[in-house]
Amino acid sequence: MRPLTHWVCLALGAAVVITVARAQPTDDSLQIYVVRMLSGPEQNPGGAGIYIGNGLVITAAHVAGPSVRGVRIKGLNVPAKPVKVGTFPQLDLALISMDKETLPISLRLRRMPLCQRQAPIGASVIIAAPQAITRSRIMSPMLLPPDYQVKFPTLISDVDTGGKSGSGVFDAEKKCLLGILSLKITNNLVHKDIATYFVPASTIRSFVPAGTRW
């Protein structure tokens, strides 16, 4: 718990969707992009991440520490290492590179696009986490104290996001990646979870090194 005046932010890691002659992707079709971080020589499973393609995974910085040694994807344990890590909570992102030569062809060919626009307030979103696929809605930051509105402008209505840091928030219609779950915002006066902040696609796009292809 990290108190800020009467509000607190809880990091979730310790405690976060297309029409021609082709079938519409389902919510469950996003599960293939969800991964688990594996830490230490024992390859202990930790927080979540989202596979964006070309052997790259995006997750939360507080999930991907220096001990990350691999990624579990579709039941496979694949060697991996952090290539860029931000700082929590200012830039809660980390980019992980897997040994893509060990991936099956079906995974090598997959790509997860970042959404070009932020979904409007009230829009339905999909939360893709190792535990389950669930739904939530985009929440207005105006419901938070003024300083929090600036720091955490991209929110989903509070759902059961405990232990889901690094999981993906997806546009329910376009199935593109809107962002990565970062932290839960709680009103400590009434002991009530208010919302969950996610790092938006625009920040992810800037975070990934120039020239990186996925």
pLDDT along the chain (214 residues), means of 10: 46 40 66 93 88 96 89 93 94 94 90 96 96 94 91 88 92 96 87 90 95 85
Domain 2-20+112-204 has CATH 2.40.10.10: yes
Tokens of 52: 């964006």
What's the CA gap between 212 and 190, in Å, rounded?
45
Provide the sign of the torsion angle of the four alpha carbons 34, 88, 176, 134, taken in this order.
positive
Q: Does this chain's domain 2-20+112-204 share its CATH topology with 32-111?
A: yes
DSSP string of 190-213, one letter each residue: TTEEEEEEEEEHHHHHHHSPTT--
Instruction: Provide, for the chain, the percentages of residues in helix, strand and coil under a 3-state DSSP scheme, each rounded to the nearest 5.
Output: 15, 40, 45
Residue 10's pLDDT is 57
Residue 8's pLDDT is 59
Residue 206's pLDDT is 96
Name the CATH topology of 32-111. Answer: Thrombin, subunit H (2.40.10)
Residue 121's pLDDT is 97
DSSP H helices in the chain: 105-108, 146-151, 201-207
Domain ranges of the chain: 2-20+112-204, 32-111
Residue 214's pLDDT is 85
Residue 99's pLDDT is 86
What's the CA gap between 46 and 17, in Å, rounded?
25
Under a CB-based contact definition with an 8 Å cutoff, are residues 32 and 137 in contact?
Answer: no
- The answer to pTM > 0.85 is yes
